[in-house]
Amino acid sequence: MTIENSGTDGTFLAVVLAAGQGTRMRSTTPKVLHEIAGRSMLAHVMVTARAAGAARTVVVTSPAQDDVRAHVEHTDPDATTVIQHEQHGTAHAVLSAAAEIEAAKLPVLVLYGDTPLVRAVTLSAAVDALEDRTSVVVVGFEAEDPTDYGRLLVHGDTDRSGHTSLERIVEHADATAAERAVTFCNSGIVGLRASAALPLLKAVTNDNAKGEYYLTDVVEGARTNGDRAAVVAAQEDAVRGVNSRAQLAEVEAIWQARRRVEVMESGVTMLAPDTVTLAFDTKIASDVVIEPNVYFAPGVTVEAGARLRAFSYFEAAHIGRDAIVGPYARLRPETRLGEKVRVGNFVEIKKADVASGAKVNHLSYIGDADVGTEANIGAGTITCNYDGFAKHKTTIGPRAFIGSNSALVAPVTIGEDGYVGSGSVVTKNVSAGALAVTRAPQVEKAGWVEKFRTLMSRKAARRV
């Protein structure tokens, strides 16, 4: 999904670090392209940055990440990618975007492509904190288990907006026992005042055990310059990063739980919320009822009053007002259901318009088709849309009746009020109001069963 162009208006420059290899993911897919709710983690961060007021986004990538750069362009054509040719720490990564930072002349917010749950309100608060003599702002959180996190050591004083001063950041390995008792931890998200950003970043040295340039050192740099550093608090879940498949699943569960609550608060009923899976762009109107184990892939819209029955799967489909779908139904891309349509158990529909009041209730496949108003599709009906080389369309007119176990071989049209007898294979158009029957006549042979059994018994006796 592409972010809409928001022009150059905005309050900050977002620099998203995405060059990490993500080796713990054990994947050929770059870590930041793994998905939460059908959208890449990187795209979640980019979209949130724009929602928070980013004027532009710069994504830092590694030389081999052509697929990440292509994904960035697809997600936000206005975004820029830069390459960190060698990885020497987080401050070094941000300096890969030095030209963009200098040109923007805006506050800089450093984000991470593997923190998809970050909220726009947190990012806005961080940018707002960069005022007066505050050169650096760090987003912190209260950690349930602070082990391995850097600790934020704060002063009691606040600025006029209520932001607490940050004295320094202490890494877990370097912390004293008293410092390790602190549970307020560093999320890694850092904001830099426009005029201070490049001087502070360039002043960072690699005089440490790993020989890397740490972004957290800008806090000490600001205080050395006589400037202020501040903190903004976020919930732990909102800044949770992903480094493994298990953590990816944990973040997915958090996202789903958060979104389900939002959907239910908008007037949607979920009979078993924990069993419903939503996509990042799922749109559901009020008074929709969702039964257990319903899955939404991206691109689904559901209008008011619809009922989605259990164990159904929807992807890139539109479900009309007061429609009933399922149980065990599958709607594939480019499916559009009109008002009060009925789609029943074990029905699959793909690239089809099903008009208001039509019914496809049992064990049928409707693909590449138009189904008219009040039409009735009998159990076991299929539209034979593929000839091995190309797809063809089936058109079923208003109030047409298709008998059970029929095959409609496209391209074919069933006229308005047309009637197809059960078990027919229809290869020619059916006129409006006409009956089409293609099955062979039924033949009955009296006494056949007794003769057959006698014959087979004699054959069996000869084999003994």
Q: Which long-range contacts (CB under 8 A, 24 or more apart) does 347-356 make?
A: 349/317, 355/398, 356/320
Output the pLDDT for position 20: 85
**Predicted pLDDT at 155:** 77
Long-range contacts, 67-74 (Cβ 8 Å, 24+): 67/29, 67/30, 67/33, 68/18, 68/30, 68/32, 68/33, 68/42, 71/33, 71/40, 71/42, 71/43, 72/42, 72/46, 74/2
Residues of the chain with pLDDT under 70: 1-9, 132, 156-162, 464
The whole-angstrom separation of Cα 413 and Cα 427 is: 9
Residues in the chain: 464
- pLDDT, residue 2, reads 59
Three-state SS string across 144-213, please?
Answer: CCCCCCCEEEEEEEECCCCCEEEEEEECHHHCCHHHHCCCEEEEEEEEECCCCHHHHHHHCCCCCCCCCC
Closest among 152, 59, 158, 56 to 107, alpha carbons compared: 56
pLDDT reported for residue 132: 67
**Cα 308 to Cα 104, 202, 272, distances in angstroms:** 48, 57, 12
> Is 392 labeled as catalytic in the residue annotation?
no
For tokens 């290869």, name the residue: 427
* pTM of model > 0.85: yes
Q: Which of 317, 227, 232, 244 minimizes the C-alpha distance to 279?
A: 317
Are 29 and 36 in contact, with CB atoms under 8 Å apart? no
Helices and strands (DSSP H and E) totals, the chain: 10, 35
CB atoms within 10 A of CB 172: 14
Question: Are 13 and 106 in contact, with CB atoms under 8 Å apart?
Answer: yes
Which tokens go with 166?
Answer: 């940050």
Q: What is d(CA 159, CA 134) in angstroms, rounded to the nearest whole number?
A: 9
Question: Helix (H, G, I), strand (E, B), or coil: what is residue 262?
Answer: helix
- What are the tens digits of pLDDT across the range 362-384? 999 999 999 999 999 999 999 99
Cβ proximity of 255 and 38 under 8 Å = no
For 432, how many CA atoms within 13 A lie in the half-sphere containing its CB? Answer: 4
Neighbouring CB atoms inside 10 A of 77's CB total 10
- Going 262 to 267 to 268 to 274, the CA torsion angle's sign is positive
Contact 76/3 with Cβ under 8 angstroms? yes
Query: Measured on CA atoms in the order 89, 90, 92, 93, is the torsion positive or negative?
Result: positive
For residue 364, give the DSSP letter: -
Look at residue 6 in the predicted model and tell me its pLDDT.
Answer: 44
Residue 265: Cβ within 10 Å count: 8
d(CA 49, CA 56): 9
* Amino acid code (one letter) for 385: N
CB-based contacts of 170, cutoff 8 Å, min separation 6: 150, 151, 153, 179
What is residue 88's three-state secondary structure?
coil
Choosing from 74, 88, 172, 362, the catalytic residue is 362
pLDDT of residue 299: 98
**Distance from first CA to last CA of the chain, Å, rounded?**
72
- Collapsing DSSP to helix, strand or coil, 411 comes out as coil
Calpha distance 462→107 (Å, rounded): 97
Q: Virtual CA dihedral for 351, 355, 359, 360, nearest 10 degrees?
A: -10
Name the token pair of 139: 């987003």
3-state secondary structure 263-315: HHHCCCEECCHHHCECCCCCEECCCCEECCCCEECCCCEECCCCEECCCCEEC
- The pLDDT of residue 174: 84
| Interaxial angle between packed helices 41-52 and 120-128, expressed in degrees from 0 to 180 and rounded to the nearest 10 | 50
